[in-house]
Amino acid sequence: MNRIVHPIEQESYRRLRARLDTSHFPPLTRAVVERVIHSAADLEYATDLVTDEDDLVRSHAALHAGAPVVVDVEMVGAGITRRETVCRLRDAGSVAGLTRSAHAIRLAYEQVGPGALWVIGNAPTALEELLTLDAAPALVIGLPVGFVGAVESKAALRESGLPAVSNVSEKGGSAVAAAALNALLYHPTSPEETP
């Protein structure tokens, strides 16, 4: 993806790297960690994020091959500016014991089927619902924020064995979830490309 990087962003990354050595991370993990840190100005994400480079390599390929991207809230979708996303929250309601966010995930799965990249940055119940489906995701970016259910839902994601990006603390949110997906979008698909 050809992308013009603004000088402010370049300077921000220079300062980030001056404060934190990320050179030991594999390429896609480094891209995700740095973009999440950049989005939140929070260096603690370097030790809080949980990723697997092999999962990121496969999901990067799926993303660039056109796999759908599903988000739990429109705010996450708004942060993903170079790709159409699916968000069914406006169509959802609190039904059958589900929160509105969980119902939206069910509706989105009915729309996109298996193989999507799921980006959850707001509602732990959305992540919990995704884990009950046989979604066969290309990747789950599970970074819901909050003091109720966020840590537990992210732990359940890691225990599921699904390809994932998560973190261990209560931190998260729309901006960091979108940033993790954008890191994969912006990362070169061939050695000749430059980020």
Q: Which residues are catalytic?
A: 38
Residues 133, 177, 68: CA angle, nearest 5 degrees = 50
Q: Are 187 and 60 in contact (CB under 8 A)?
A: yes
CB atoms within 10 A of CB 96: 8
3-state secondary structure of 41: coil
- Cβ contacts of 11 within 8 Å, gap of 6 or more: none
Give the integer Cα–Cα distance in Å for 195 and 188.
6
